[in-house]
Structure 1
């Protein structure tokens, strides 16, 4: 089977990727509950940048070719935006927990669909707009505003979802002129530069056991990104994208089993609405391209 058409392998790789990213979220929550978020993300990016540069150096043309871009400002902004989004999301984990944070964050696909028109010039039909509306109703069910239990911390993962949606759209936008390798390089290097500047002011001593967990966090990040790259190499993005929602399932499981979180009924119902609406928008986008 030729590259780019092995859907079964692509699905398996995406499932493995979501499991590893969920584990990464759990490690981030554990470490950031004890140490400063900026330091945790900084060390994570040091490892990630080293991984990116190693991969780029082995490609044709080496680091110089990977760094060559026709859109340096946009590429730099993408890298900074993703690093900032990770800081925001990890902060959300520490304040709100994994279950509710991931449930709210899953709305990012709906934000992508809503903004794909003004940013990418894509046509969004009434069916997808209806699904987007249903999905955001699901977010409201999760938040339960007006019922006396709304937490202001809930805005944090929603803001992270908006940031990641914008990052995703800009990634698709720069792909019109730059290669995947170039975008990957700028993502790692710019994020590392930003977090090194910020995290240096928040460095804390860590226990040997926590340094071991930090190493696990760094490894899961690199392995997860490598699997994601392989996934998109062997299968079409539209075929594997629906399986990204499994990160919510795996992450919620870690939140419940490891951190003792509780899945409240409104969170479960709202998450189902968000996921169903997101899957429908992905399906409609695929139909529109066919």
Structure 2
């Protein structure tokens, strides 16, 4: 689920491989964040991740887009996107304090459903009854996972859902960026804006970083940047309908990391709910692809 990207050449196999490896990298990023959040504020983790990643993002942008890609024609749009990205990341990282990694990951998969709903409500895009039905079914899956009214319900379960909503807004905010700017410029400014904006708040939550934890912060920056880069390239090499479903392999990685590191085992309801959410998201992706083909 990336922003606006430009296809360069067709190579579906490479796109699928890059997407899968990118998803695995971002899942490792999330696992590291969950490990660190017990000792550091989510805001401090976000700030250090972006500060460490920023030089690599600059080098990557120079290599892929040239010096011109370092300039933006609409920097204000990137600042707004930075606010959305900070909000989404803080909510998601905070959910790790209370939720299993797999449960938080499953709930964030409602983002495609939010994107569909927002496109109909605010952009006046036509959404057919079958896609609306898929959206409703997906939110039923959310209810299965969070179980409101049950003894197992945790208010923190709403944090990944709110994360998904902000992520959907972030995807739509790509329309505010000048169409001539490359995806590498967007990634660079998203990293830079997040580092810049969070710098004003992080002193209020800062705690000294233990020397042994520096490696974890370096790793989270590495996995986060590598994951976003590989997923971006995947969408450039193959149609979204082919690579986007690979995003759901994150639930496998989240379950594996949760079990190996924290001995977390999602209960049956969480698995059922995740299955409903994923099935609904896949159907929305498939239907949007069908609509695009019919209109193309």
TM-score range, shorter chain: over 0.9
Tell me the secondary structure at the aligned position of residue 258 of structure 1: helix
Counterpart contact for 2:255–2:265, Cα < 8 Å: no
Counterpart contact for 1:256–1:262, Cα < 8 Å: yes
| Aligned equivalent of 2:132, options 129, 136, 140 | 129
Counterpart contact for 2:100–2:266, Cα < 8 Å: no
TM-score (structure 2 length as normaliser): 0.91
1:101 aligns with 2:104: yes
| Aligned equivalent of 1:260, options 250, 259, 263 | 263
Question: What is the rounded CA distance, in whole Å, between the counterparts of 2:176 and 2:292 in structure 1?
Answer: 17
1:27 aligns with 2:32: yes
Question: What is the rounded CA distance, in whole Å, between the counterparts of 1:83 and 1:51 in structure 2?
Answer: 19
Counterpart contact for 1:41–1:87, Cα < 8 Å: yes
Q: 1:59 to 1:282 in 2, by over 3 A?
A: closer
Moved over 6 A (4+): none
Question: What is the rounded CA distance, in whole Å, between the counterparts of 1:111 and 1:169 in structure 2?
Answer: 11
2:157 corresponding residue in structure 1: 154
1:174 corresponding residue in structure 2: 177
- Offset at 1:288? 0.2
Q: Aligned-pair RMSD on alpha carbons? A: 1.9
Q: 1:201 to 1:86 in 2, by over 3 A?
A: same
1:68 aligns with 2:72: yes
Question: What is the rounded CA distance, in whole Å, between the counterparts of 1:242 and 1:173 in structure 2?
Answer: 26
Residues 206-225 of structure 1 correspond to what in structure 2 (within 5 A)?
A: 206-225=209-228
Give deviations 1:64-87, integer Å, cap 9, x for gaps: 543222x43322211221122111
- Offset at 1:122? 2.6
- Offset at 1:177? 5.3
Counterpart contact for 1:39–1:199, Cα < 8 Å: yes
What are structure 2's unaligned runs of at least 5 residues?
Answer: 1-6
Counterpart contact for 2:65–2:182, Cα < 8 Å: no
TM-score (structure 1 length as normaliser): 0.92
Counterpart contact for 1:4–1:232, Cα < 8 Å: no
Paired residues, what number?
287
